[in-house]
Amino acid sequence: MDTQKQATADLFARLRNRRLSATFALLAVLSFGILVGSIFTRSVSAKGQAIDSSDARPLNIPNPRDLSTSFSKIAKDVGPAVVNINTVSIPKQSANRRTGRRGQVIPFGGNQGNGSNQGNGSDQGNGSDQGNMQDFFNRFFGGQGGDDGEDQGGGGKREALGSGFIVDSRGYIITNNHVVDKADKIYVKLSTDPDNDNDQGRPAHVIGVDSDTDIAVIKIDAPNPLPTVKLGNSDGAQVGDWVLAIGEPFGLSKTVSAGIVSAKDRAIDDNPDKPNQFQRFIQTDAAINPGNSGGPLVDMAGEVIGMNTAIYTQSSGSEGVGFAMPSNTIASVYNMLIGPEHKVTRGSIGIGFASAVPAAVTREYGFANGGVLVEDVTPGKGADKAGIKADDVIVSVDGKPIKDGDALVSDISSRKVGSTVQLGYLRDGKLHTASVSIGDRSQLESDASKNGDNNATPAESDAGESKLGITVTAVPPQFASKLGIQGGVIVNTVRPGSFADDIHLEKGFIIVEINRKPIADEAAYRAIVNGLKSGQDVVFKVKVQGANAPVGTPLFGGTLP
């Protein structure tokens, strides 16, 4: 029995061993087959792909498509009339060498001219001269590239780049005055001229300049008619309109940038309290950089509505705030510059007015909704002959309401010398009219310069601003009577960081005493201020107007630096 069981067990063991061997053999065969099959399949697949590529279609470059063609069409139409202006200045021997430069210096910014300061001429606000245009453009646009020989005798020549645009096929070009001012040589390159660094371009000469608007007209010889731009009407430009700036930023020719009109009638002078009365700009976010100066700002009709002039910048490049002189101003100035005298003549009626008037004064004199308070009248000139007097309020010109002094200057200055206008004015609250003859503004300014200001010396007229940091105007007699004071002067401006600013004097304050001495008028004010010395205690008694004004006449004081 045991023998039989043993035989059965041996049989099962043999069968199990054979089955395992067969299984291992089968697995080995299958693995080898899979490996060979994979290699074979991969080879067949690769060969199949190479064969099947015959049905692949080659890529073709399509013909150019016209998508939004407005920008490109304008660039093609206007571009040929935009030029590159290269100037060379040779520093002259100077006895007074400057030790440094103020403002930012941006390469290829263009020659920065001094321009003309706004002086104490007729039909403008009283106060100190405007900041030098050199400093203005250094601050807002950047000076010319290079410091070689600046104000140094025998120094190297200085070069600068700018832009311009052709307005007459005979070679007349408009650009910025600060691009060509003080340049000894001016060269112009057309868009069709070859890009050759050794070729400076075609010699140009200045036809005329107007520093008040920073506009210049230059000319090159043109044997054949040149392409020109079409001038548009800047009054039609609206905030939000698309515009293109075309020029030579950083010397990169034929550069076009796009943006919109960001604002209009923008004043950007270095002294915001007394802005230049002839500079009102179109603001744009189209990229404007050094070298764009003098180039055109073009609307979507392909018409030039402005000339790129300046930028606000903290990085020496475009930050999206650029300014262009409106085309209507450009056209008016250009037409005078190409005339026989090659100069700009502006009208004047011979008055002076406060550029900043406290709200209380406007309410008291009845022109809170607009008007110009006359402070002084030039003897023998138009307004004087027509009977206009100090303390009159001009409210209209030829029936058109006048908002403020800037609007009055803009209107009168554009009038032809010798013509007449009807002025509407208030006197003692009653409306009157007068026919006033227009005179030559430059002649009136010249006469004022020769005659002086109430025989005051330059030091006297500047004492308040230089010592105290303020500018003032006399309080009108009627207003003084209303306030119960004997004269006084109104603070028009306070220079930041000045002595007056440190002791908290503010614009609109009325100074009635200085160091317990009464201020009857501007003459008394100047006499007292001229006598002040460094280290002296100075106490001001003032009258403050307004709903929250303190009662009485508060005192402000400090030690003069």
> Using alpha carbons only, how large is the chain's radius of gyration in Å?
39
Task: Give dist(CA 86, CA 110) in Å, integer.
Answer: 8
Catalytic position from the list 293, 332, 396, 498 = 293
Place of tokens 């498509």: 65
Assess whether 193 carries a catalytic annotation.
no
> What DSSP assignment string belongs to 324-362?
EEEHHHHHHHHHHHTSTT-S---EE-SEEE-SS--HHHH
Q: Calculate the alpha carbon distances from 281 to 268, 329, 346, 421 in Å.
A: 8, 10, 19, 27
Cβ distance 449 to 461 under 8 Å? no
Task: Give dist(CA 349, CA 320) in Å, integer.
Answer: 40
Tokens standing for residue 62: 């399509």
Q: Give the closest residue to 540 by CA, choosing from 501, 512, 498.
A: 512
Query: Which residues are registered as beta bridge partners of 400?
Result: 397
Task: Give dist(CA 153, CA 327) in Å, integer.
Answer: 40
Catalytic position from the list 122, 123, 128, 178 = 178
Task: Give dist(CA 103, CA 188) in Å, integer.
Answer: 28
Query: Which H or E run includes 450?
Result: helix 441-451
Query: Which H or E run includes 473?
Result: strand 470-474
CB under 8 Å to 425, separation ≥6 — which residues?
Answer: 374, 388, 392, 393, 394, 395, 431, 432, 433, 434
Cβ distance 164 to 82 under 8 Å? yes
Catalytic position from the list 214, 270, 299, 406 = 214
Give, rounded to a whole angstrom, the gap between the first and last alpha carbons of the chain.
135
Assess whether 293 carries a catalytic annotation.
yes
Rounded (5°) CA angle 118-120-123: 90
Assess whether 537 carries a catalytic annotation.
no
Amino acid at 212: D
Which DSSP letter does residue 79 get? Answer: G
Tokens standing for residue 90: 């040779």
CB under 8 Å to 57, separation ≥6 — which residues?
Answer: none
Task: Please report, for the chain, how many H helices and E strands are present, in that order.
Answer: 13, 28
Active site (catalytic) residues: 178, 214, 293
